[in-house]
């Protein structure tokens, strides 16, 4: 045992610079900025499967690395922000769009959104207008620009994708210290309609851009047009 310790200790010391670099990078990704893989299509068309998104973890607060404990807090998520958070249901890392702020009265009926009695407006777009390459492989999908309270973003609807009751959200007041989040792929998203309101302490940061993107269905072919594309 002593001989093993004698041999391994010098090796660890020689690699001290590597261990320090790894530790710094882990702290950086936990508390300052991160890049997250997107494995599901719940945010199509804004975020595609295979996108690697950049997350500003200092957008709202500073946290103790590797925890949800906040050391300082200086901003709140706004309507339309794309955020990453720890799911209150099963602690998975999710990315969704902030729709309802604390105190907002939010409802979703037939995929028509209203906040505090104000109805969102919708402008239908073609697949080409939203950047779907090679035509739309699912003609039943429809794309819209949703606009409400100064926030404008794309959403995708698939009328046969979910039952009407699953798509709807009865009028609900967002509790203080919580947020209502929805996926842009409204008919295929595990969001506040399934997991409930999200505690502000669980929100890790704001997704700002796509660092790079790979098409998983085309032999991981790069999508150069999405490299460093900003998220609306």
Are residues 186 and 150 part of one domain? yes
- Paired residues of 147 in beta bridges: 121, 152
Q: What is the chain's mean pLDDT, rounded? A: 89
* Shared-domain flag, residues 116 and 20: no
Same domain as 44, residue 6: no
SS3 sequence of 130-148 = CCCCCCCCCCCCEEEEEEE
Please identify every residue annotated as catalytic.
42, 96
58 and 21 share one domain? no
Q: How, if at all, do strands 221-222 and 203-215 pair?
A: antiparallel
Cβ burial 172-188 (10 Å sphere, 16+ → b, else e): bebeeebbbbbbbbbbb
Is it the case that residue 68 has pLDDT exceeding 80? Answer: yes
6 with 39, same domain: the answer is no
Residue-wise pLDDT for 135-184, tens only, equals 444 557 899 999 999 999 999 998 665 555 567 899 999 999 999 999 99
Q: Of 101-110, 124-133, 170-179, 219-228, which range is least confident?
A: 124-133
- Domain residues for the domain of 156 are 33-230
Same domain? For 2 and 56 the reply is: no
Q: Is the pLDDT of residue 116 over 70?
A: yes
Both 77 and 119 in one domain: the answer is: yes
Rg of the chain over all Cα atoms, to the nearest angstrom: 21
pLDDT, residue 135, reads: 45
Q: What's 88's domain CATH number?
A: 2.10.109.10
Do 105 and 191 reside in the same domain of the chain? yes
Based on the domain organization, do 47 and 25 belong to the same domain? no
CA distance 30 to 71: 13
- 229: nearest Cα among 147, 158, 130: 130
- Asked whether residue 80 falls in the same domain as residue 7, the answer is no
Per-residue pLDDT at 88: 94
Residue with tokens 């028509």: 112
Q: What pTM was estimated for this model as a whole?
A: 0.89
Q: Is the domain of 16 the same as that of 68?
A: no
Q: Above 80 in pLDDT, residue 195?
A: yes
């Amino acid at each position: 045992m002593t001989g093993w310790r004698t041999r391994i200790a010098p090796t660890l010391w020689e690699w001290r610079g590597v261990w320090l670099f790894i530790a710094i990078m882990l702290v950086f990704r936990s508390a300052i900025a991160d890049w997250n893989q997107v494995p599901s299509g719940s945010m199509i068309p804004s975020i595609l499967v295979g996108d690697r998104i950049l997350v500003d973890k200092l957008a709202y607060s500073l946290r103790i690395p590797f925890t949800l404990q906040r050391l300082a807090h200086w901003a709140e998520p706004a309507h339309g922000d794309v955020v990453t958070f720890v799911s209150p249901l099963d602690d998975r890392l999710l990315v969704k769009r902030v729709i309802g702020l604390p105190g907002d009265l939010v409802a979703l009926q037939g995929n028509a959104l209203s906040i505090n009695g104000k109805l969102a407006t919708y402008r239908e777009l073609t697949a080409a207008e939203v950047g779907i390459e090679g035509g739309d492989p699912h003609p039943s999908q429809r794309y819209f620009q949703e606009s409400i309270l100064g926030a404008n973003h794309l959403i995708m609807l698939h009328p046969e994708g979910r039952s009407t009751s699953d798509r709807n959200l009865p009028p609900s007041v967002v509790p203080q210290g919580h947020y209502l989040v929805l996926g842009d792929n409204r008919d295929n998203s595990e969001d506040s309609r399934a997991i409930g309101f999200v505690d502000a302490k669980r929100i890790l940061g704001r997704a700002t851009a796509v660092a790079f993107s790979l098409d998983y269905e085309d032999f991981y072919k790069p999508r150069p047009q999405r490299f460093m594309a900003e998220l609306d």
